[in-house]
């Protein structure tokens, strides 16, 4: 799958691109069912909110077949190879739950801020592509973006070890307010199966989910193979050390599983 020049132009300008309904409801349904099974596992890769409910499952592409396939899906890998101009490896794979009522905040941050400071990734030649496994609405804790903020480089940040169970380099309120004065603040929403890709420098956050509706999103953080991390400070299932280029599978790799299990 290739992005059009207009899509590339929009990505460069805004720092993100929303592709509504790129996966079918059936494909998203399969991945959601598997995500819910993963959250029930007692594994160190499944991090929990203070309430005990699942927050994030890391590295699920290494222990779940449907997520293994999503991790090499051509609809995700090819556009990122196109943007990053070459072969990519998986720096991080996570399934974020944002559970009904208890899903907690993600503070304002840039992903590359953490990858540079904690993992010594040389350049922001890496980015996220995410798939909505639930309908994402204004109600259930959508991602918030500051359009254009990816053009500011790495912004000053402090290491937040307190707010949630997951340590993150976060931006202070003044910085975020100034960026939003210029770029505004948006919350891309859409049905399950939609895809949101965004620059690793884009400033983003998400609010707690007080609604009764869950909001599962899978994130592939893909990095150009030449730009692999240099420091191994974090667990290998959080910041991967396997820099093998990803070979995209066939487009029907998930639908094949649906017919196998039918």
Q: Which residues bind ligand SIN (CB under 6 A)?
A: 96, 98, 106, 143, 204, 206, 217
Minimum distance from residue 21 beta carbon to ligand SIN (Å)? 20
Q: Is 104 in the site for Mn ion (CB under 5 A)?
A: no
For the chain, the DSSP string reads: ----HHHHHHHHHHSEEEETT-S-HHHHHHHHHHHHHHHTS--TTEEE-TTSSEEEEE-GGGT-HHHHHHTT-HHHHHHHHHHHTS-EEEEEEEEE---TTTBPPEEEE-HHHHHHHHH--SSS-EEEEEEESS-B-SSS---EE-TTGGGG-SPP-EEE-SSSSS-EEE--HHHHHHHHHHH--B---B-TT-EEEEETT--EEE--B-SSS---EEEEEEEEGGG--S---S-TTTS----PPPPP--TTHHHHHHHHH-
Q: What are the two backbone dihedrals, phi and then psi, of residue 118, each rounded to the nearest 5 degrees? A: -90, -35
Q: Is 111 in the site for Mn ion (CB under 5 A)?
A: yes
CA angle 4, 200, 38 (to 5 degrees): 95
State which residue, 27 or 134, has the beta carbon closest to ligand SIN.
134
* Total residues in contact with Mn ion, by rule CB under 5 A: 1
Q: Quote the tokens at residue 156.
A: 């000053």
Minimum distance from residue 261 beta carbon to ligand SIN (Å)? 28
Q: Is 27 in the site for Mn ion (CB under 5 A)?
A: no
Minimum distance from residue 255 beta carbon to ligand SIN (Å)? 26
Q: State the Cα–Cα distance between residues 262 and 259, nearest whole angstrom.
A: 5
Q: Which of Mn ion, ligand SIN, none has residue 143 at its interface (CB below 5 to 8 Å by kind)? A: ligand SIN
State which residue, 119 or 253, has the beta carbon closest to ligand SIN.
119
Minimum distance from residue 69 beta carbon to ligand SIN (Å)? 21
Minimum distance from residue 256 beta carbon to Mn ion (Å)? 31
State which residue, 60 or 253, has the beta carbon closest to ligand SIN.
60
State which residue, 134 or 253, has the beta carbon closest to ligand SIN.
134
Q: Which of ligand SIN, Mn ion, none has residue 189 at its interface (CB below 5 to 8 Å by kind)? A: none
For Mn ion, which stretch binds (CB under 5 A), given 110-118, 145-153, 173-181, 240-248?
110-118
Minimum distance from residue 5 beta carbon to ligand SIN (Å)? 28
Q: Which of Mn ion, ligand SIN, none has residue 75 at its interface (CB below 5 to 8 Å by kind)? A: none
Minimum distance from residue 131 beta carbon to ligand SIN (Å)? 12
Q: What are the two backbone dihedrals, phi and then psi, of residue 95, each rounded to the nearest 5 degrees? A: -115, 105
Residue matched to tokens 């993100």 = 16
Q: State the Cα–Cα distance between residues 239 and 229, nearest whole angstrom.
A: 8
Q: Is 134 in the site for Mn ion (CB under 5 A)?
A: no
Q: Which residue is nearest to ligand SIN (CB)?
A: 206
Q: Which of Mn ion, ligand SIN, none has residue 96 at its interface (CB below 5 to 8 Å by kind)? A: ligand SIN
Q: Residues in the site for Mn ion, rule: CB under 5 A?
A: 111
């Amino acid at each position: 799958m290739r992005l059009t020049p207009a899509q590339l132009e929009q990505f460069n300008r805004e720092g993100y691109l929303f592709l509504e309904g790129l996966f079918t409801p059936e494909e998203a349904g399969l991945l959601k069912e598997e995500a819910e099974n993963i959250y029930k596992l007692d594994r160190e890769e499944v991090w929990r909110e203070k309430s005990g409910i699942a927050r994030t499952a890391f590295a699920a592409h290494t222990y779940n077949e449907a997520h293994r396939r999503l991790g090499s899906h051509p609809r995700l890998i090819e556009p990122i190879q196109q943007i990053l101009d070459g072969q990519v490896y998986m720096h991080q794979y996570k399934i974020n739950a944002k559970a009904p009522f208890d899903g907690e905040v993600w503070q304002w941050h840039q992903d590359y801020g953490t990858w540079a400071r904690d993992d010594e990734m040389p350049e922001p030649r890496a980015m996220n592509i995410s798939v909505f496994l639930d309908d994402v609405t204004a109600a259930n804790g959508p991602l918030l973006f500051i359009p254009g903020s990816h053009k500011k480089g790495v912004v000053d940040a402090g290491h937040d070890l307190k707010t949630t169970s997951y340590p993150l380099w976060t931006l202070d309120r003044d910085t975020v307010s100034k960026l939003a004065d210029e770029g505004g603040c948006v919350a891309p929403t859409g049905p399950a199966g939609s895809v949101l890709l965004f620059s690793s420098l884009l400033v983003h956050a998400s609010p707690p989910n007080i609604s009764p509706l869950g909001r599962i999103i899978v994130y592939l953080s893909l990095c150009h193979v030449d730009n692999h991390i240099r420091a191994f400070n974090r667990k290998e299932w959080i910041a991967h050390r396997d820099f093998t280029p990803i070979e995209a599978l066939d487009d029907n790799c998930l639908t094949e599983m649906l017919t196998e299990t039918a």
